[in-house]
Structures are given as C-alpha cells and as structure tokens.
Amino acid sequence: MNEIVPVVEMTDIAIGFPGVKALDGVDFRLFQGEVHALMGENGAGKSTLIKALTGVYTIDSGTITVLGEPKRFSTPGESQAAGISTVYQEVNLCPNLTVEENVLLGREPRRRGSIDWKGVRSRTRAVLAELQLDHIDPGSLLSTHSIAIQQLIAIARSVEINAKVLILDEPTSSLDADEVNQLFRVIRDLRDRGVAILFVSHFLEQVYEISDRMTVLRNGKLVGEYLTRDLSRMSLISKMIGKDMEALAELDQAPARTRASNGAGVTPFIEAQGLGRKGSVSDVDLSIYPGEVVGLAGLLGAGRTEIARLFFGADKADEGTIKLKGASQKIRSPRTAIDKRIGFCSEDRKEEGLIGDLTVRDNLVLAMQASKGWARRIPRRVQDQLVAEYIEALDIRPANPDALIRNLSGGNQQKVLLARWLVTHPELLILDEPTRGIDIGAKTQIQKLVNQLAADGMSILFISSELEEVLRVSDRIAVIKDRAMVAEINNDGVSVEDVMTVIAGGAQ
C-alpha cells in the first residue's frame, strides 16, 4: 500500500458507557480505493467505532481526521457532510417513500423553491444506471423491494452524495448468494472508482473475497492492521479471540457425548403428529426425548421458526396433535407452554423482551422472580450468587452484573437471554438461531452449553442456518422444506452434503 494520506484516520479513540469501556486507544486508517474489513468478535467495539465515525456517538478522546483535516462529529449530518456515508444492516431508509425520494431525500434538485421532480427522476435513473441497477423502478415504493435491493438503493444514495467513504455494516447478513454477488459487484465497482469502503461482516469467506486490508479489534482495543492476503483464516481467528487454537479445535470436535436412548419404554417429552397451521407449515411429525437435541435444517424461510412457534403456542395449530409426556395437550398460548416448562429463545433478541435499561442482574432476576411467584422475594445474597454463576457459566462480558443490557454487544445479549430461560429450568428449550451474529468463541460456548444441558436431561429443539452447527449439536435432524417436514435423519456420521441432498431432492 503506497503511503498516501488516508481518507480517514482515527487516532487513539476512546469511548465509554456506564459500566463498559467500549473503545480504548484504537487507531484506524482507511485509504482511497480499498475495501477495508473491520474484524472482531461481538463486543470487540466494531459497531462503536463505526458509530464514532458516523457521528452517532461522540468520542471521549482521540482525533478523527478526514483527508488530513481534523473533524469532530456530533450528528450523522456532520459526518455525511464530510463525505462519509453508511449503509446499516437494518437498512435505514423510509419504507413509505419511493425509491427516487430515498435516493435524494434532503438533496432534491429544486427550481424556484419547488422540488424538480423530473430532475429527481433523471438523477435517480442516472445513479441507478451507473450501478447497473436500471431494473429498479425509481417511482416504486421502497417497501415493495427486498432487503437486498433496499441495501443497493441505500448504496445508490451514497453514490449520489459522492461519498468518499462508504461504510457497510453487516450488509450481507440477510442476503442470498446471488444478492451477495450483486452487492460485491457494486462494491468492487465503487472501489475501482476510488471510494474508500469499510466493510463489516461475520462471514469470513466474504471478508476474504472482498477485502484488501483488515483491522482487528478485541475487547475495545486494537489488535492490528493487516493485508488480507498476508493473514490466514486461522491466524485471523486467533487474533480475534485472543486465544490459540484450543477453542477452534473444540469447535471441530465431533460431539463425543453418548446419545440419549430413545428406544422402547421411553416416553418423548413432546410428540407432534400431523401438526400444522393453515398458511404456515404442515405435516410436522416430530418427537423429542428427554436429553435429546433435535436440529431443524432447512433454508431460510422454509418454515423452521413457524414450527418453533407452534410448539411454543405463539401460533395456534389448526391440525394435528401434540402430546406432552404421553398425555394429549393443546398448547393454546405461550403461557400454557411456559406452564408446561417449554422455553423459547426466539431469533429476534430485541423483540424478545430483554429490558435494555435494566442491568444484567435485573434481567436475570426478573425471570427468577416470575418463576417463584411475586410474593417470595429472592434474597440479595442468592441473587448475587445465581447471577455470578450464570455470568461465569455463559461467559457474559463484561462480567459485571450491574452493566446495562443495552450497552452489551449482540452476542452477550443473546447469552443473557439464554440465561433468563435457563433460570426457569425448562424441560424443553427451543433455540431459534441462538448463534446468529455472534462470534466464534461465543458460538462454541453456546454449542457446548446445549450439549451439556441435554446431558442433564433437557430436551432441545435447535434451529440454525448453519448446517455444520446443526450437525455438530444434534442427535437427530428434521429436514424442513417448503413449509413441511420432509425427512428425519439420525445423526450418525451424516455429512453436510447428505443433508443438502435431502433438501435439494426432498428424498430420503
């Protein structure tokens, strides 16, 4: 890399929140015409660094220079005015407006005080054509487009602004392969035109495919800056988690646990027969025995979550039966399910009811208190002990019971959520994408925990988009395709390819 002036240079940046030191003395440089990946585990400080650069957070100390000029951003508008544009994971555009308006909002061409709508249309067409996205109708409502297209429209907005820096925060997490390719084509195109691109993603392969350089963060501190081609995947991961390969080795080990017998004489905890719901899923025949992990495999949108919701009573089944411990039982609502000791960790952390303004301790105690009844107060000593136990067991970071939930990273919020269900000691725990968006270290921990819980006799329904993970933790795998259960496979030496064949062909 020739040593020209970086477009963005951040030096010795520090940002703190009550109870958490999010960034501590971090340096970061971004050059023209490169794709730079920001790497780190959840909670390493990636999001915070981006928000410091985009003016959402104000830095406590350190300097930011853009093209050699020192800047201090306190609103997103100021950062944008300096040529920095961001596309967030949860596309930040207005769904109620048209594509062209979203591209030009706040910068519409005007003639005598009135917006020149013809100009808006032609400028939008021009920028869409530039990105080879001419198939998008500028006059259509944003909400009629898929997330992938919306993201591309957000990028079009940045191009229209003539952004010198484009930040892409987890842009691929809800895209399929074709969409990722389209996105990458646009990214490379922009890079070749001299735009500096900051790319954040959990998908290692994508990072290696698209990035030129990377900066690695760990626990709010800088680990280093590397050329992508000089850094192997293994050394990158070890830099991210700050340990040697032990954790990774564990990750690759096949589960050695002896499987629970589900032979004659043992009653399954839950037994569904012909379970279905109009417009949702159908033909679910699935039993889960005590101490067994059953994995649901299938494509995104195949109906995995829908099955979980039927089991938990979040949706009412209109066909088929459910037996709990051999007795027929209708699960009409989540309340019934919880009474019958079924827990459901949904894929949506934010909506799940973690209370962001309360501390880790309060969130855990809430669940404990609810399960004990409101009349019996839990003594502080017991609280402390239990909270400390779960923080240690799940390695919740920071290990501070008084840290506010909203200041925790996504992966650590997920752990608190899990802990909240665990304190109520469910007999069946449904985990929907428990490892999505969390780093490898936390992933291993959660997978180990799942096996341990099963070994203690809990039944677990495990849902994940990553087939390897499903294979690693499950005793049996139910394959879901096109909103129906199409096969059940015993996990004895099954490979990812085998499962894929079933999904592709629908045959046994």
Contacts to another protein by CB under 8 A = 54, 56, 75-77, 80-81, 86, 88, 92-97, 101, 105-106, 108, 110, 113-115, 117, 137, 140-141, 143-146, 157, 174-178, 180, 203-205, 297-303, 465-468, 481-483, 496
Which one, 137 or 427, has the nearer CB to another protein?
A: 137
Cβ 27 to another protein, closest distance in Å? 26
Dmax (CA) for the chain in angstroms is: 84
CB of 301 vs another protein, minimal distance in Å: 5
The single residue listed with the structure tokens 């609103």 is 75
Please state, as a whole number, how many other Cβ atoms lie within 10 Å of the Cβ of residue 442: 26
Q: Between 209 and 362, name the residue whose CB sits nearer to another protein.
A: 209
For residue 180, the surrounding DSSP H or E stretch is helix 177-192
CB of 146 to another protein, least distance (A): 6
CA atoms of 177 and 174, how far apart (whole Å): 10
Instruction: Give min distance, CB of 377 to another protein, in A.
Output: 33
What's the closest the beta carbon of residue 155 comes to another protein, in angstroms? 13
Cβ-based nearer residue to another protein, 12 or 498? 498
For another protein, the closer of residues 145 and 164 by Cβ is 145
Helix (H) or strand (E) holding 469: helix 467-473
The residue among 286 and 480 lying less far from another protein, judged by its C-beta, is 480
Mapped onto helix, strand or coil, the DSSP state of residue 272 is strand
Cβ contact 142:153 at 8 Å:
yes
- Strand order in 69-71's β-sheet? 20-30, 8-17, 61-66, 69-71
* Backbone torsions φ then ψ of 102, nearest 5 degrees: -65, -35
Q: Which is nearer to another protein, 92 or 371 (CB)?
A: 92
Tell me how far CA of residue 326 lies from CA of 270, 310, 322, 425, 457, in angstroms. Answer: 8, 18, 9, 20, 17
Q: Measured from the CB of residue 159, what is the shortest distance to another protein in angstroms? A: 14
Residue 94 CB, nearest distance to another protein (Å)? 3
Of 324 and 463, which CB lies nearer to another protein in the complex structure?
463
- Quick one: tokens of 91? 């596309």
Residues 7 and 67 sit within 8 Å (Cβ to Cβ): yes
Residue 17 Cα distances to 203, 358, 476, angstroms: 28, 14, 44
Alpha-carbon distances of 131 from 152, 186, 202, rounded to whole Å:
9, 6, 25
Q: How far is the CB of 77 from another protein (least distance, A)?
A: 4
Tokens standing for residue 292: 């067994």
Q: Minimal distance in Å, beta carbon 378 to another protein? A: 34
Shortest Å, Cβ 176 to another protein: 5
Q: Which two tokens stand for residue 456?
A: 């203690």
Q: Are 118 and 109 in contact (CB under 8 A)?
A: no
C-beta closer to another protein: residue 77 or 356: 77
Supply the minimum distance, in Å, between the C-beta of residue 46 and another protein.
17
Q: Which is nearer to another protein, 141 or 358 (CB)?
A: 141
Please give the full DSSP string across 101-117, using - where no structure is assigned.
Answer: HHHHTT---EETTEE-H
Task: Tell me whether residue 466 or residue 488 sits nearer to another protein (CB atom).
Answer: 466
State the residue for tokens 């970086």. 6
At residue 160, φ and ψ (nearest 5 deg) are: -60, -35
| Cβ atoms < 10 Å from Cβ of 488 | 15
> Among residues 340 and 481, whose Cβ is nearest to another protein?
481
Residue among 196, 191, 228, 253 nearest 67 (CA): 196
